[in-house]
Structure 1
Amino acid sequence: MVSLDRFDTFKAVVEAGSLTAAADLLGQTRAVVSFNIKRLEAELGVTLLTRNTRRLALTEAGERFYLHCLSMLEAAQLAIDEARSEHTELKGTLRITTTVEYALAKVVPALELFRDLHRDLKVHLSTSSTHADLISERFDVALRLGRVVDSSHRAVQLSTFDILPVATPAFVASVAPIDSVHALEQTPWLEHGRVGELSITHVGRATTQPYQPNPARARIKADNSSVLRAFALTGQGVAILPDWLIEDDLRTGRLIHLLPEWQLTRQGVYALYPDTRHLPLKVRVFIDFMKHQS
């Protein structure tokens, strides 16, 4: 394997114009520089430099290799700088956008720990039911749930979660028995405006079929899971809600998980960020942190 030290020596020779000048620049002897150039050429199997008594000249292969050399040394230095900076405090402002309910349930507790690790980094958290434009609104990262449809940004999946059909005991008692997927699909329900097509799988038999609630039975439509949860708690119908949002409701019996032997399409949590050549360190550190929190 070719050593990056020899890449650096080759770069110095080209830019200094001679072995002697490169040796002075690197703090090495001329003999060491000459040896490293010869070893590099032997390892590559090509001649990089032509030599005469007056000067050095790049061969055609040497010119191409010099351009690649610059790129590789730059990338290597960037990797070294970022690795070293892992143990330093991040500074500046990290701008995050996500939904209100996910912020309250997951992001706020995580940020408490994240801020303890990076006290010099300011965090600006914006919450909305609508998807913010990362570029025009200058957000560093968006935490989005469900499925990613915006291909203009990079996306990293942080975790997955279940969505559950739930209703109050009183509502369940007031309707026909919900003892099958078909019965569930015909029961009055509360529609989430951004949940797309779903499938439902029987856990024991591993059989999957589309989940298609009767559109005529949709009583209320909203774009916010917290709002749908509030309607469900007042007995308005069946709501399909994230498991992390209704843990207390299920534990206390305020809501009942309907058809627990069936599982709806699992949803993802994604970190989206603008498609740039170099991911800012503060964004990468935050994404890595959120992965470990999931």
Structure 2
Amino acid sequence: MVSLDRFDTFKAVVEAGSLTAAADLLGQTRAVVSFTIKRLEAELGVTLLTRNTRRLALTEAGERFYLRCLSMLEAAQLAIDEARSEHTELKGTLRITTTVEYALAKVVPALELFRTLHPELNVHLSTSSTHADLISERFDVALRLGRILDSSHRAVQLSTFEILPVASPAFVKSQPAIDSVQALEQTPWLEHGRVGELSVTGVSSGAVQSYQPDPGKARIKADNSSVLRAFALTGQGVAILPDWLVEDDLQAGRLVRLLPGWHFTRQGVYALYPDTRHLPLKVRVFIDFMKSQG
């Protein structure tokens, strides 16, 4: 019988796109991965991959076998998870990816409790301002904020949070009065690379307006909320940031909340995971735990 370990190696090579990349993901040498694929092809009696100097490509038999591999590996993992769940212990490794600032503010404190509940489960937390590819980089779950654009993945909303327009007291004093949405749109601002057009709602009136800042007044653009917070603290402009990121700055007076009579559309926190037939137990348990944390 062909070993499931060889199935997993084959899957890693297909999704990583090369023997070298797959070896890095699996923590093996390229030679071991190459030997495993050759053994698999010999045992099956078919060629699964064609190789040239630039890349690997699936043969027709390889494409069919890859789809079967996915189903078999998912079924095997489900069987393992269900067997382990009878003893209420999770084992193995849970690979999570999210942003640096959300990890520090929310995920790290939550994992402290999660690890005490499941001490046999190892956690690998990766942080980045860019969105990782869950499939090729072999992540179990991604925690993402704001709008979800990944149609190829399943998504579960864990919670919501408020975003606030903030600036340093010195910057506010240097500007004309920022007493309306229109005035805020004309104020020099700090742009987040993944935040698009927003809507704001009056707290007392219920009136809804769109917020479209003047593109010519964007002083700085960044893809990291912590970086924008740093620029806001030094008086570079207005930044729209998560409430959980700036609450200490607001209490200490380092930042000022602008237009407190208006609320921007609340943003969501989502858990994304690959669209597989069976959701691994460790992912389901982690998602349920994060939902319970609010």
TM-score (norm 1): 0.72
Give the secondary structure class of the aligned counterpart of 2:90: coil
RMSD of Structure 2 on Structure 1 (CA): 1.7
Partner of 2:277: 277
Counterpart mapping for 1:1-294 below 5 A: 82=82, 85=85, 88-294=88-294
* Cα offsets for 1:153-188 (capped at 9, x unmatched): 000000000000000111000010001111111000
Give the secondary structure class of the aligned counterpart of 2:182: helix
Aligned-pair CA distance for 1:196: 1.5
Aligned-pair CA distance for 1:83: 10
Give the secondary structure class of the aligned counterpart of 2:209: strand
Residues 84, 90 of structure 2: 8 Å contact kept = no
* Cα offsets for 1:3-53 (capped at 9, x unmatched): xxxxxxxxxxxxxxxxxxxxxxxxxxxxxxxxxxxxxxxxxxxxxxxxxxx
Partner of 1:10: none
Aligned-pair CA distance for 1:197: 1.5
* Cα offsets for 1:129-156 (capped at 9, x unmatched): 0000000000000000001111100000
Aligned-pair CA distance for 1:88: 1.5
For 1:86 and 1:130, the matched residues in 2 are separated by: 38
Residues 189, 219 of structure 2: 8 Å contact kept = yes
For 1:174 and 1:290, the matched residues in 2 are separated by: 42
Give the secondary structure class of the aligned counterpart of 1:226: helix
Task: Please say which structure displays the higher CA radius of gyration.
Answer: 1
Amino acid paired to 1:171: F
Partner of 2:64: none
- % identical aligned pairs: 84
Give the secondary structure class of the aligned counterpart of 2:112: helix
Give the secondary structure class of the aligned counterpart of 2:191: strand
Residues 96, 123 of structure 2: 8 Å contact kept = yes
For 1:84 and 1:208, the matched residues in 2 are separated by: 51
For 1:205 and 1:145, the matched residues in 2 are separated by: 28
Distance 1:174 1:138, change over 3 A: same
For 1:263 and 1:192, the matched residues in 2 are separated by: 18
Structure 1's unaligned 5+ residue stretches are 1-77
Distance 1:186 1:281, change over 3 A: same
For 2:151 and 2:270, the matched residues in 1 are separated by: 13
